[in-house]
Amino acid sequence: MPSDPENELAAVIAGAQELLQWEDALGGTGFPAPKAAPPVRAPLGAGRTESDAEDIVARLEVLSNEAAKCIRCELSRGRTKSVFARGTPGTDLVFVGEGPGFHEDEQGLPFVGRAGQLLDRMIAAMGYARDGVYICNVVKCRPPDNRTPLLTEAAACAHFLVPQLDLVQPKAIVALGRCAAENLGVVPPAGKWRGIWGEWRGIPVMPTYHPAFLLRSPQFKKPVWEDLQEVLRKLNRAPATR
């Protein structure tokens, strides 16, 4: 097929604009901050009624209260607060991280430290309100020195994560970092794991790098943005406009 220089130019400009927008959203300099995304009305999901939605919120609260008293693994000994979730249970998009850090343990909320601020900017760049998505972790209590949760700890906490995701039933999950990807069963036995769609109980899962890793290695922001754009395509949504 003959190439169309006008279309090619338009595609290059669109790609460059998207990248600038992403750099900007992630703290680049020289560009205005993205406009706050409008609040997302939480969809009820296929076949869900208002009363189903209320029931789901109530059941999540029961789980959250149970997690606050849980002594299934050693992590409970060091916790200040358990960290169950933040955001909107009726959303189409869930982010799963590894486990709470210092600030999360103090506040009882996931992703409120520096990595959380970066995650918030990623979410805004995707066109969602900060609390228009649902965010949780593989383990609900802080591992000592922020180490990766042990398999036994993650297995114990699956008691919460599995029903939590089953109740929220998003249309897509983003697994933040290898630990989340492994625990959702989407890491291939060998080779590349980031950016390859997997599935958790029928829900598409996009594994990508953890925001804490991006803080240390910002050169990987671009592939992460590509992964998030894949997610937006899956959800038939467009990134935020400036």
Interface positions with ligand URA (CB under 6 A): 97-101, 104, 110-111, 113, 115-116, 137, 212
State in angstroms the smallest separation of the CB of 104 from ligand URA: 4
- Nearest residue to ligand URA by CB is 97
Give the count of alpha carbons within 13 A of 97, CB side only: 28
Secondary structure of residue 150 in the 3-state scheme: coil
Residue among 111 and 200 whose Cβ is closer to ligand URA: 111
Task: Name which of 90 and 97 has its Cβ closer to ligand URA.
Answer: 97
Whole-number minimum distance, CB 231 to ligand URA, in Å?
18
CB of 183 to ligand URA, least distance (A): 11
Edge-to-edge strand ranges of the sheet holding 134-137: 86-87, 134-137, 93-97, 172-176, 203-208, 198-200
d(CA 225, CA 110): 21
Nearest approach, Cβ of residue 2 and ligand URA (Å): 49
CA 159/CA 138 separation, integer angstroms: 10
Residue closer to ligand URA (CB basis): 207 or 239: 207
* Cα 180 from Cα 43, distance rounded (Å): 25
Closest CB to ligand URA among 115 and 141? 115
Cα–chain center distance at 81: 21
